[in-house]
Amino acid sequence: MSAAVSLQDLTAQLEELEREAARSIAAADGSAALEELRVGLLGKKGRLSAVLGAMGRLSAEERPLVGQRANVLKEQVQGLLHERLESLKQAALSERLERERLDVTAPCRYVPPGQRHPLISTIEEIVDIFAGLGYRVSEGPEIESDHYNFTALNIPPHHPARDMQDTFYLAPGADGQERLLRTHTSPVQIRHLEANPPPARIVAPGRVFRRDAVDATHSPVFHQVEVLALDEGLDFSHLRGTVMAFLKQFFGDLPVRFRASYFPFTEPSAEVDVQWRGRWLEVMGCGMVDPAVLEGLGIDSERWSGFAAGLGVERFCMVRHGIDDIRRLYTSDLRFLEQF
Ligand code: DAH
């Protein structure tokens, strides 16, 4: 038989439990500690269960008094546990917000976006102007055959004009055909006319290659834009008008002159100079498409006539931006490129 228990004893125990619970819950520093307290206070083997166990030894009238008090205490403790857990969560959140605070006024490292290379923007501008005049873009391969680069352009084997352009030759292709890096964009004229019946109005931008030593005005790789117009009744005045309209739109009012020249695929031929920094600078070759070129393509040269031009992109770019050395366009020096 266990020792007698009085109502006062149990009530005092419950009061003590209440004070202690309040103190320890307030001191708990995390959810694990709170769970430990919950088990110790309200669990099956916890302090409250011990009081309720002893209750059986009270009289039938006293038991409900302790039972009621115990129930109130249980709810109280559950409430305290919940509140403490919530306030710990809130504190953790505030602490984290404080720690991860972003100072939007702090100075930052500005990384500028990339920009167009001046050669690319020059090509785009040239092509845009011709597009505005009704020309379409046409393109051809950089690796060409002797036929398209020379023969079809009225430059037969051993013709002295081949010496005008020192060529990079490649090993023959699988078909045994001689291959080379195109020395100009003019072969695109032939490829276009072969695939499309006249009339034609095209611009063909691209890279070209020549065995030139590098200096301030020469590079073995450079860029051209080819222009071709073929229609009924075109004559030199159309060529001149088109070139003048283009140059005016690109450069504004720079002085321009046409000089008689020679190209095997045009007759008559001319070179065009613009005056820049007190000197005449050649920017393109042009002329009326030689009837022999058209006949070679099976095009009736009595009916169709046209003009063609080849523009040196680097020259246009250098005049536009006041660049005095072509090598600057290829050395990828950011201090230079960032200016455009
Ligand atoms: N293909 C010539 C060259 O690279 C430039 C040229 C001259 C192109 C006259 C033409 C033209 O279309 O009519 O030197």
Residue 308 Cβ contacting ligand 1 at under 6 Å: yes
Q: Quickly count: other Cβ atoms within 10 Å of residue 3's Cβ.
A: 7
Cα of 321 to ligand 1 centre, how many Å? 24
Task: Inform me whether the pLDDT recorded for 159 exceeds 90.
Answer: no
232 CA to centre of ligand 1 in angstroms = 22
Span 38-65, mean pLDDT? 90
**Residue whose CA lies nearest to ligand 1 atom number 3:** 184
Beta strands in the chain (DSSP E): 136-137, 143-145, 169-170, 179-181, 200-209, 221-232, 256-263, 266-276, 279-289, 304-312
Mean pLDDT of the 4-21 span? 90
- Range from 1-15, 31-45, 78-92, 268-282 carrying the lowest mean pLDDT: 1-15
**pLDDT score for 3:** 62
pLDDT in tens, 327-336: 999 998 989 9
How many angstroms is it from 263 CA to the middle of ligand 1?
7
> What is the model's pLDDT at position 165?
66
C-alpha 311 – ligand 1 centre gap (Å): 8
Q: Identify the pLDDT of residue 174.
A: 85
Region 8-16 average pLDDT? 91
Q: How confident is the model at residue 109 (pLDDT cuts 50, 70, 90)?
A: confident
* Predicted local distance difference test score (pLDDT) of residue 1: 42
pLDDT computed for residue 2 by the predictor = 53
Please provide the average confidence, as pLDDT, over all residues in the chain. 93
Residue 108's pLDDT band (cuts 50, 70, 90): confident
Best CA proximity match to 192, nearest among 140, 144, 114 = 140
Decide: 140 in ligand 1 pocket, CB within 6 A.
no
Distance 64 CA to ligand 1 centre (A): 113
Residue of the CA atom closest to atom 5 of ligand 1: 310
Residue nearest to atom 9 of ligand 1 (CA): 286
Q: What is the pLDDT of residues 304-323, one digit of tens each?
A: 999 999 999 999 999 999 99
d(CA 336, CA 70): 85
Question: Lowest-confidence range among 84-93, 108-117, 141-150, 274-283?
Answer: 108-117
Which of 186, 243, 259, 271 maximizes ligand 1 atoms within 8 Å of its Cβ, making it the mutation to test the pocket?
186
Which homologous superfamily does the CATH classification assign to the domain defined by 118-337?
Bira Bifunctional Protein; Domain 2 (3.30.930.10)
For 233-242, the pLDDT digits (tens) are 999 999 999 9
Mean local confidence (pLDDT), 184-196 = 98
